[in-house]
Amino acid sequence: MRYSYLAAALAVTVVNAVSALTPTDLMCELLAKTGLVPVTDAAPEFSWGFKDARPGDYQRAYQIQAATSTAFLRAGKPDLWDSGKVGSSQSLFVTYAGAPLPASSTVFWRVRVWDRRGKQGAWSQTMAFATADELGADTPLRYPLTQKQVKPVRVVTNSLGRVFVDFGRAAFGWVELLTPPEMQRGGAFTLHLGEKANGLSVDAKPGGTIRYAKVRGALTRPGVYRVPLEADKRNTSGGKEGSAILLPPEFGVVMPFRYVEIEECPYPVTAETIRQIAVHYPFDMQAAAFVSSEKVLDQIYSFCKYSIKATTFAGVYVDGDRERIPYEADAYINQLCHYCLDREFTIARYSHEYLMAHPTWPTEWKQHSVMMAWADWMYTGNTESLARQYDRLKAEKTLEFAARASDGLLVTGGPSAPMNSGLRDITDWPHGERDGFEFKPVNAVVNAFYCLNLGQMAEMAEALGKAADASEYRSKADRATKAFNALFYNSERGCYVDGEGAVHASLHANMLPLAFGLVPESEGARVARFVKNRGMACSVYGAQYLLEALYEAGLEEYALQLMTRDDPRGWVNMMRSGSTITLEAWDIKFKPNLDWNHAWGAVPANILPRYVMGVRPLEAGFGKILIRPQVASLEAIQGIMPTVRGPVTVGVRQMPGEHYKVMFEIPVNTTARLELPAFTAACGKFTLNGKGMPYAVDGHGRLVLDNVPSGSHVAYWECKEARCGSKGANCGGRTSGAGWRAWVPFF
Provide the pLDDT confidence category of residue 445 given band limits of 50, 70 and 90: very high
Contact in structure between 173 and 193 (CB atoms under 8 Å): no
Q: What is the pLDDT of residue 742?
A: 35
Mean of pLDDT values over 435-442: 98
Q: What is the pLDDT of residue 200?
A: 98
Q: What is the pLDDT of residue 221?
A: 85
Provide the pLDDT confidence category of residue 238 given band limits of 50, 70 and 90: low
Across the chain, mean pLDDT equals 91
- Evaluate if residue 237 carries a pLDDT over 80: no
Mean of pLDDT values over 518-530: 97
- Evaluate if residue 412 carries a pLDDT over 90: yes
- Evaluate if residue 157 carries a pLDDT over 90: yes
Q: What is the pLDDT of residue 516?
A: 98
Percent of the chain with pLDDT over 70: 92
**Over the stretch 671-685, which tens digit does the pLDDT of each residue have?**
999 999 866 545 678
Least confident span in 47-61, 143-157, 398-412: 47-61
Provide the pLDDT confidence category of residue 720 given band limits of 50, 70 and 90: low
- Evaluate if residue 15 carries a pLDDT over 60: no
**Over the stretch 535-570, which tens digit does the pLDDT of each residue have?**
999 999 999 999 999 999 999 999 999 999 999 999
**Over the stretch 561-594, which tens digit does the pLDDT of each residue have?**
999 999 999 999 999 999 999 999 999 999 999 9
- Evaluate if residue 322 carries a pLDDT over 70: yes
CATH 1.50.10.10 assigned to 398-563: yes
Q: What is the pLDDT of residue 656?
A: 75
Helix axes 524-534, 507-515, angle to 10 degrees: 130
Mean of pLDDT values over 237-259: 84
| Domain 146-280 superfamily per CATH | Galactose-binding domain-like (2.60.120.260)
Provide the pLDDT confidence category of residue 183 given band limits of 50, 70 and 90: confident
Least confident span in 48-52, 139-143, 192-196, 630-634: 48-52
- Secondary element (H or E) of residue 221: none
**Over the stretch 490-515, which tens digit does the pLDDT of each residue have?**
999 999 999 999 999 999 999 999 99
Contact in structure between 652 and 9 (CB atoms under 8 Å): no
Please tell me the distance from the alpha carbon of residue 379 to that of residue 348, in angstroms, as a whole number: 11
Q: What is the pLDDT of residue 97?
A: 98
Q: What is the pLDDT of residue 166?
A: 98
Q: What is the pLDDT of residue 725?
A: 37
**β-bridge partners, 417:** none
- Count of CB atoms within 10 A of residue 744's CB? 8
Under DSSP, is residue 513 helix (H, G, I), strand (E, B) or coil?
helix
Mean of pLDDT values over 272-290: 97
- Evaluate if residue 723 carries a pLDDT over 60: no
Helix axes 346-357, 363-380, angle to 10 degrees: 150
Please tell me the distance from the alpha carbon of residue 484 to that of residue 462, in angstroms, as a whole number: 24
**Cβ contacts of residue 404 below 8 Å, gap of 6+?**
410, 411, 416, 442
Please tell me the distance from the alpha carbon of residue 439 to that of residue 444, in angstroms, as a whole number: 9
Mean of pLDDT values over 341-355: 97
Please tell me the distance from the alpha carbon of residue 178 to that of residue 274, in angstroms, as a whole number: 6
Q: What is the pLDDT of residue 2?
A: 40
E strands in 115-246: 127-136, 146-150, 154-157, 163-179, 187-194, 197-198, 201-202, 212-219, 223-226
Pairwise pLDDT comparison (407 vs 415), residue with the higher score: 407
Q: What is the pLDDT of residue 394?
A: 98
Q: What is the pLDDT of residue 733?
A: 35
Q: What is the pLDDT of residue 561?
A: 98
Under DSSP, is residue 501 helix (H, G, I), strand (E, B) or coil?
coil
Provide the pLDDT confidence category of residue 734 given band limits of 50, 70 and 90: very low
Fold classified for 624-742 = Maltose phosphorylase, domain 3 (2.60.420)
Q: What is the pLDDT of residue 518?
A: 98
Q: What is the pLDDT of residue 6?
A: 42
* Dihedrals phi, psi of 644, to nearest 5 degrees: -65, -25
Q: What is the pLDDT of residue 655?
A: 84
**Cβ contacts of residue 664 below 8 Å, gap of 6+?**
627, 648, 649, 650, 651, 672, 674, 712, 713, 715
Q: What is the pLDDT of residue 77?
A: 96
- Evaluate if residue 728 carries a pLDDT over 90: no
Mean of pLDDT values over 19-24: 87
Mean of pLDDT values over 434-455: 98
- Evaluate if residue 3 carries a pLDDT over 80: no
This prediction has a pTM of 0.94
Least confident span in 165-174, 244-253, 487-496: 244-253
Domain ranges of the chain: 4-136, 146-280, 398-563, 624-742
For the domain spanning 4-136, the CATH number is 2.60.40.10
Please tell me the distance from the alpha carbon of residue 651 to that of residue 292, in angstroms, as a whole number: 9
Please tell me the distance from the alpha carbon of residue 371 to that of residue 544, in angstroms, as a whole number: 13
Least confident span in 5-19, 331-345, 358-372, 402-416: 5-19
Q: Comparing C-alpha atoms, which of 133, 130, 154, 159 is closest to residue 143?
A: 130
